[in-house]
Structure 1
Amino acid sequence: MTDTRAAASIWDRERLWVTAGAVALIFLAAIESLAVTTVMPIVSEALDGESLYAVAFAGTLATSVIGMVATGAWSDARGPRGALYAAVSLFIAGLLVSGFAVTMHQFLLGRLVQGLGAGGQTVALYVVVARLYPPQLHGRVFAAFAAAWVVPSMVGPFLAGAVAEYIDWRWAFLGVAVLTAVAFAMIVVRLRGVDLGHGEPQDRRALMRRLLLATIVAIAAVSVGFSADLAEAARWPAAIVAVAVIGLAILPLVPRGTLRAAAGLPSVVLMRGIAAGAFFAAEAYVPYLLIERFGFSATWAGIALMLAAFAWAGASAVQGRFGDRLGNTRIAFISLGLVMVAVASVFAAAVLGGSPLLVILGWAFGGGGMGLLYPRLTVLTLAYSTEADQGFNSSALSISDATGSAAAIALAGLVVASLGGGVSAFSAVFALCAVLVLVAAVPGLRLGHAAEERSS
């Protein structure tokens, strides 16, 4: 028995196709996520949808919250097979709708459907891993998944820009749809007839409540973005109401005390949402800035994202090795400081012009800051959790991440629509992100010391 377990591998004959297919699905989801950031300036111009530019990002993130909750509940109640099949099918369908869209609203519909699938397929894949692989292989599988995210972040933006510039932006979506179908087929063939469990009875009322709340959060976040299409006098009142609805609906989905930055886990979850919002709202406009302000092509506009991805990967490795020694509060403020340098750099480039190197090199600091912060907040979430609440707390962290990003990106889009584009719009977006970085310092002071205490 010992010899068999020692010889087990995620690439052995029994699991080869599932591993390859799952890693490919993660890889393609990452490629697509980064591709959108690079090609959206071209898409919004081609479909005459500049006012809804931000919804293309915010909408997918918002509906991913519904996908996370629904797929997690489905997997627990009936096993992960059907949940995985449904999630990947929605992801492919969304890509096809966006790829064939002839109007901006059709494109956004595809992005919303895609978000349902993207949020769900990751959760379902995690459950498949738990059911199909022995515990001693879980770490190796998740390491492979992590690598599947890192590699696209280094080449995806440049590749997507080249596809949009030299072929057609539609293939940034249609190509991923075709490849996802191939990867999915690899998993389906191998899982046919495999017992993945049939789930356990669930509290339907509680599940329906969580799903309803997740749907309300998603609708409200998308509404913030669509408020840019309203009459000028109604835009900000509608957005403020939508943000208030998000705050109320998300309360039962996160630990008690999250919105008031209570010490410990609530502040961990809150900081994740605010920091994600600050970084990703700014990043959504970095390629746009390079194209509009400095005349970059889509291919070369992706360089800034590539350097940030390298910095993110390197900083994550530093955190893994020295995180406990540095301490949670110190990491939080080093991270926020690096993100603030990045935001200040792109703000200065937007206002003053000068060299685009200020954008490209400056944004790398932001990637480094997030690379330090993200894994640390995940470690802290697990350190504050018990077996009884690991699922809820992990879900809360993901929900905060997606919701914070969606709301901040949508607000940034509203700012751009209100100012009519140009230098003033870019500078206002980056100023908003700088304010969010400062706000993130409040929970950053209240993270506590769970990880250090557990490691000692």
Structure 2
Amino acid sequence: MTTAPETLTSPRLLWTTIGAFALIFLGAFEALAVTTIMPIVTKDLDGESLYSVAFASTLAASVVGTVIAGGWADRRGPSRPLVAAVSVFLVGLLVSGFATDMITFVVGRFLQGFGSGAVNVCLYVVVARIYPAALHPKIFAVFAAAWVLPSLVGPPVAGVVAETISWHWVFLGVGVLVLVAAGTIFPALKALWISDASTGVPGNTISVIWAVIVATGVVLISVAREIAGANAWWLAGAALVVVIVAIRSLVPKGTLLVKRGLPATIFLRGAVAAAFFSTEVYLPYQLIEVYKLPVGLAGVILTVGAISWAVGSAAQGRIDDRMSHDTVMRVGASILLAGIAVQFVSAFLVLSPFVAASGWLLAGLGMGLVFPRISTLVLAYSTERDQGFNSAAMSNMDTTGSATSIAFAGLIFYAVGGGSFAAVMAFTTVLAVVAFLVSLRVRTPSAAPAGD
């Protein structure tokens, strides 16, 4: 009798799928909610001077969290670090939710970033350990949807809660939901917890030190304009050099040289994140300032990109083996490049906002195709001894690429003509070109061994 193939909703995987989706959704919801309510928080806590730090500290902490969780997962399996990561994330939500001054709030944000980054890495390792390889594109499509859906509901829900109840409950409410999500996934991980044992992979304190250095560099780049003024370019450039030197120890050998195989795949994660998210930050700003669109309508255009991202993720999950990983990523990278190039042309020629919306639909579709397949391919290259390390490397390239590109886009915006959207979009288009070129170096394991 032929056994039916497993699906994401098979009894063995159902609660893990639900719990993982919920944890990623809540992490993304919290990140977007904070963006919406931060002006209210800083005013209430008299902390306008720490506005940027509240964001930069979260990004920095996530880098350290991913490295620590990745190494721990490689040594002892993903279940224990996942419990610890969820606990830290929950404590961070409570600290921010009960904060009565800005310093305490920033500490909570730091803990949230640490926990959220660690949760994501642990979930990648959970996927590698318990989901069949054939389901990896599908589960990562689910993860992508968990990241995208909060962009549709997060900002309005957070705004309503902050205005009708209190901004404190944006964090405390998410904390309650995190407990529920943890309750769904932890019983499903019971067997994994029992089977987890030491793999003989040694701890690496040096990696944590390098992660702290990367995090510090990311923070300095993010706040360079605020703290250095006219010398911002010098500070950002020096910090970027430090980040590049430090991150070499946190990614597979050959990543910064874009060697074929796994190194190029991990570099691609940082390249597409840099191109997409630095464009996303300035697109609504352009629509409001240049085209005088209402804030709500500008947000709708971003929602178009979020929806097309979800569509692309679902599409790549259904392709299965009919198209190789590297082919999917090249197609996705080319669509992403086309979408971002439309933003440059639109900004340079001041075309209709409908043109910008059409381009953003393409960019979202490209990201939907690329992002889940990168995760799938990274796990395909990994063994139980390095699943955590490789997943952490992928996440760190994502965070570092997006944070540094957004920071440099800001420097360009204010340096060229006192606020040039065309200059910013030219910069992000160059990043998209780099991403497409890197996609040409990606190979599936069956086509070529890692690092050939």
Matched, 1:271 2:271: no
CA–CA distance in structure 2, aligned partners of residues 44 and 352 of structure 1: 37
Q: 2:432 is matched with which residue: 428, 433, 437?
A: 437
- Identify the residue that residue 142 of structure 2 maps to in structure 1: 147
Identity %: 43
**Which residue identity is paired with 1:120?**
A
Cα deviation for residue 226 of structure 1 reads 1.9
Q: Output the aligned Cα RMSD.
A: 4.3
1:183: which partner in 2? 181
Residues 356-371 of structure 1: pairs in structure 2 closer than 5 A: 356-371=353-368
Measured against aligned partners, the alpha-carbon deviations of 1:118-143 in whole angstroms (never above 9, x if no partner) come to: 11112334555677x5x66x866984
In 2, are the aligned partners of 1:221 and 1:410 still within 8 Å (CA)?
Answer: no
C-alpha distance 39-11 of structure 1, shift in aligned 2 (>3 A): farther
Which of the residues 207, 216, 219 maps onto 2:216? Answer: 219
Separation (CA, whole Å) in 1 of partners of 2:272 and 2:391: 17
Superimposed CA distance per residue, residues 139-162 of structure 1 (whole angstroms, 9 cap, x where no aligned partner):
6698456425415624x2232232
Query: 1:431: how far off?
Result: 2.7
What is the CA–CA distance in structure 2 between the aligned matches of 1:413 and 1:227, rounded to whole Å? 10
Task: Find the counterpart in structure 1 of residue 115 from structure 2.
Answer: 117
Distance change >3 Å, CA 351–CA 52, structure 1 → 2: farther
How far residue 280 of structure 1 moved from its aligned partner, in angstroms, is 1.3
TM-score, normalised relative to structure 1 = 0.78
Tell me the distance in 2 between the aligned counterparts of 1:333 and 1:24. Answer: 30
Question: 1:276 Cα deviation (Å)?
Answer: 1.2
**Counterpart contact for 1:383–1:451, Cα < 8 Å:** no
Q: 2:235 and 2:400 mapped to 1: Cα distance?
A: 18
SS at match of 1:213: helix
Separation in structure 2 between the aligned mates of residue 160 and residue 289 of structure 1, nearest angstrom: 22
**Amino acid corresponding to residue 161 of structure 1 in structure 2:** P
State TM-score, norm by structure 2. 0.78
**Distance change (3 Å), C-alpha of 1:291 and 1:82:** farther
1:355–1:58 CA distance, 2 compared to 1 (3 A): farther
Seen in structure 2, the aligned counterparts of structure 1 residues 105 and 278 have a Cα distance that, compared at 3 Å, is farther
Task: Please say if residues 412 and 432 of structure 1, whose CA atoms lie closer than 8 Å, have aligned partners that are also in contact.
Answer: yes
Residue pair 2:308, 2:368 contacting (<8 A) in 1 also: yes
Q: Read off the aligned partner of 1:168 and give its amino acid letter.
A: A
Q: Distance in 2 between matches of 1:130 and 1:324?
A: 18
- Say whether residues 1:163 and 2:157 are aligned partners: yes
- Paired with 1:63 and 1:34, the residues of 2 have a C-alpha distance of 17
CA distance in 1, matches of 2:347, 2:146: 29
Cα displacement (A) at 1:372: 2.6
Hey, what's the Cα distance between the residues in 2 that align with 1:452 and 1:288?
A: 43
State the 1:440 CA deviation: 2.8
Give 1:329 shift: 7.1
Whole-angstrom distance in 2 between the partners of 1:56 and 1:429: 24
Q: Which amino acid aligns with 1:200?
A: S
Alignment of 1:47-446 (within 5 A): 59-78=57-76, 80-98=78-96, 108-127=106-125, 143=138, 146-147=141-142, 149-150=144-145, 153-154=148-149, 156-168=150-162, 170=167, 172-187=170-185, 195-197=193-195, 199-200=197-198, 202=200, 204=202, 206-294=203-291, 299-319=296-316, 334-347=331-344, 350=347, 355-382=352-379, 384=381, 389-416=386-413, 418-419=414-415, 424-446=419-441
CA distance in 2, matches of 1:78, 1:404: 29
> Does the CA-based 8 Å contact 1:61-1:405 persist in structure 2?
no
In structure 2, what residue type is equivalent to 1:364?
A: L
Distance in 2, matches of 1:442 and 1:272, equals 13
Amino acid corresponding to residue 147 of structure 1 in structure 2: V
2:337 and 2:432 in contact (8 A); partners too: yes
State the distance in 2 between where 1:381 and 1:42 align.
40
